[in-house]
Amino acid sequence: MEQRLANIWRMSVNEKKFIENALLSDHRVDGRRPFDYRRLSLKFGSDDGTAEVQLGQTHVMGFVTAQLVQPYRDRPNEGTFSIFTEFSPMADPSFEPGRPGEAAVELGRIIDRGLRESRAVDMESLCVLAGKLVWAIRVDLHILDNGGNLVDAANIAAVAALLTFRRPECSLGGEDTQSVIIHQPEVIDPTYKEEIIMGGRMTVTMNTNEDVCAIQKPGGQGVKQSEIMRCLRLASQKATDITDKIKKAVEAYDLERAQRKIRRHSSSSAQAACGADIKMSKQVVDVTQKKIDGFKIQSKDPMNQEEVESDTDLENSNTRGENNSFQQVDEIHGKMKSVNLFTGRPSSWHPYGKGITSLSTCTSSVALSAPRAMEAEKKDTVALERPNESKLEKPSVEATVDDSHTKEMSASVQQVNQKKSLKDAVKVKSRKKKKVASTMVGE
Amino acid sequence: MASYFRRKKITFWPCGFRISGDTIVLAAVYGPKAGSKKNESPEKASIEVLWKPKSGQIGKAEREYEMILTRTLQSIFLSTIHPNTTTSVIIQVMHDDGALLPCAINAACAALVDAGIPLKSLAVAICCGITESGSIILDPTKQEEQEMPAFAYLVFPNSSLAVLPGTPPLIEGEPVEHGIITSVTHGAMSVDDYFDCLDRGRVASAKLSEFLRKNLAQSQIPNHSSKAS
């Protein structure tokens, strides 16, 4: 017991007093202003769903994995979502391996609550077979280095990892968290040493719509109402900042990932390039159709989700989720096939990609996305993005043009099927999709 | 004791230097810490290894890796310098694309050196596999590992000999210690094949240890930032 105490690093009284006095005169030891965040750097791993966050000295990694499991009895249509926080002993000599301590449990709960309450993860879209099989998403957060403010870094890692995670059918949108630490002088994003001397802390989870998703204030010093309001306002500011940073990083990563695939497509042989498609065309036509149905429809949603994310249009996402589950319930067989196919190559599916291999639908997919952007300002950004994507898609399209008869066959089959699938989509989906289909038919 | 109580982190890639699909392992060393483990004798220092997989629960495989790593490091660790202490080595798997254990051993060794823990010699690990056609390949990817009928993880010591017993084997003109610290094999291979693997592995480990020494020497020079107490 004494040995464990001996291993804990203690701060001297002099140092404590120094930091306190500095804070009282609005000076922070590392030179920041009281409400400045440390530099945030976000890196992604080669696998989908891995994110590494560095917030100053604090270093957190998030990994997202999915498994097919049986759903809970009272929620047969919803997938499950769980967060595992690992306070690795490499982060801090005081972290012991084995059972998670209080701080670890609290951190896990804050992040879990933030993501669940803000409906960042669409549970219903995780359903594969109602009542039998759903996706269980598991987020593992590894704390690699404790430089203070683990909650924020861990939350950003979780959100970033979820944003870049792709399971065979669907991608996930995310929100964001803020940690506002209160001391006699208030300070945001404390470092390790500041955390040691602080009297209390408050964590506010907000989404970019300026809705408060969760607040956690476990004991500590009492705070006046006015101060809490000030903190909330500050939190909303920082939340938008950080969400922007995360989005930019995720977009850059998505672009790079798409480019990687396209390079692979155009450089490799004809057969290899469209391996997945050829497999599809070899299967029975209606199964192929169902699969394309599934993917075409699904691929619209993440595009929309990403566009609409910052508006947090919960109703929209919920209806889409329901529609997805209808589609899934109807075409269970097709879905299962597609799941099997894509366990080997999960990265072959990505939100912008489905239209790539068929020739004329390349342009139509561009047209598709434009009208779907409901908001005026979103349209501009989408229109800007889409030409980029279509330019990227064009080289691979040209590559497929040069290919053999079988390829063209499969392409035309897909094209025909896609036209069919969109009409089917009209019947099942809401009126928004009808608008899309009409433009499609018009072409 | 205070001067050693430092933590260093090293990220390590295997000798393949592939651009995509690298095996990445993060190793951190804390120590020497006060107190030795329960069953260990307080007359010597003990070493403790914690293996953290990328995701999922900790199971038997992780315990096996920990055990192999502990035994390997114990042979290069000097346990008489500070008795009744524990040095913890924490391994975090970031990405696994084959040859995971050798990568971890190399990372742990580099982390120990970076933390300033005195060692007898460097331990250099490589992975050697025998393909179906009978050829030997070094540092296979995960896919190759699964397809191969047999492969072996080999750990060699890397220290030049001061006293030369008889005619020692020369590697690049310098007498080096001969022997294996650890050998873990999967699958069945003939004795001749195994010896072939050993030979190739020896040569490869010499190259790898050159690389290690060079990099560690370079990183020591500007390196005074540490979480020292």
| Domain ranges across chain B | 2-165+173-220
**Regarding beta strands B24-34 and B46-52, do their DSSP bridges make them parallel or antiparallel, or are they unpaired?**
unpaired
Q: How far is CA A80 from CA A28, A126, A304, B37, in A?
A: 42, 8, 23, 40
Q: Is B219 on the interface with A (CB under 8 A)?
A: no
Q: Is B115 on the interface with A (CB under 8 A)?
A: no
- The values of phi and psi at residue B199, to 5°, are -60, -50
pLDDT at B161: 57
Residue partners of B56: CB distance under 8 A and separation at least 6: A65, A140
Contact A128, A337 (CB under 8 A): no
Q: From CA B103, how far away is CA B16, in angstroms rounded? A: 11
Location of structure tokens 């060393």: B29
H helices present in chain B, as ranges:
60-76, 100-115, 142-147, 191-220
Q: Which of B26, B35, B95 sits opposite A46 (nearest CB)?
A: B95
> Which is nearest to A352 in space by CA: A249, A243, A261?
A261
Residues of A in contact with B9 (CB under 8 A): 90, 144-145
- Closest residue, chain A, to B34 (C-alpha): A3
Contact A345, A334 (CB under 8 A): no
pTM across the whole model? 0.63
3-class secondary structure, A224:
coil
Mutate one of B50, B84, B94, B114 to test the A interface: name it (highest A CB count within 10 A). Answer: B94
Q: From CA A438, how far away is CA B5, in angstroms rounded? A: 69
Burial per residue of A288-313, b for 16 or more beta-carbon CB atoms within 10 angstroms, e otherwise = bbbbbbbbbbbbbbbbbbbbbbbebb
Residue partners of A19: CB distance under 8 A and separation at least 6: A29, A193, A194, A197
DSSP letter at B38?
A: T
Q: How far is CA A436 from CA A378, A393, A433, in A?
A: 17, 21, 5
What is the CB neighbour count within 10 angstroms for residue B131? 15
Residues of B in contact with A7 (CB under 8 A): 33-34
3-class secondary structure, A172:
coil
- Tens of pLDDT along chain A (443 residues) come to 455 555 667 788 998 899 888 888 888 888 888 888 888 888 888 777 888 899 888 889 998 888 888 888 888 888 888 888 878 887 777 777 777 778 888 888 888 888 888 777 777 777 777 778 788 888 888 888 888 888 888 888 888 888 888 766 544 444 445 544 444 566 778 888 888 777 778 888 877 777 888 888 887 777 788 888 888 888 888 888 888 888 888 888 888 888 877 776 655 444 333 333 333 333 333 333 333 333 333 333 333 333 333 333 333 333 343 344 333 333 333 333 333 333 333 343 333 333 333 333 333 333 333 333 333 333 343 333 344 444 444 433 333 334 444 444 444 444 444 444 454 444 444 444 444 444 444 43
pLDDT at B67: 94
pLDDT at B5: 35
Residues of A in contact with B54 (CB under 8 A): 63, 140
Q: Which residues of chain B have pLDDT under 70?
A: 1-21, 160-177, 220-229
CATH pick for B2-165+173-220 out of 3.40.50.1860, 3.40.50.720, 3.40.309.10, 3.30.230.70: 3.30.230.70
Instruction: Identify the burial level of A339 via C-beta atoms within 10 angstroms of its C-beta, where 0-12 means exposed, 13-18 middle and 19 or more buried.
Output: middle
Instruction: Identify the burial level of A1 via C-beta atoms within 10 angstroms of its C-beta, where 0-12 means exposed, 13-18 middle and 19 or more buried.
Output: exposed
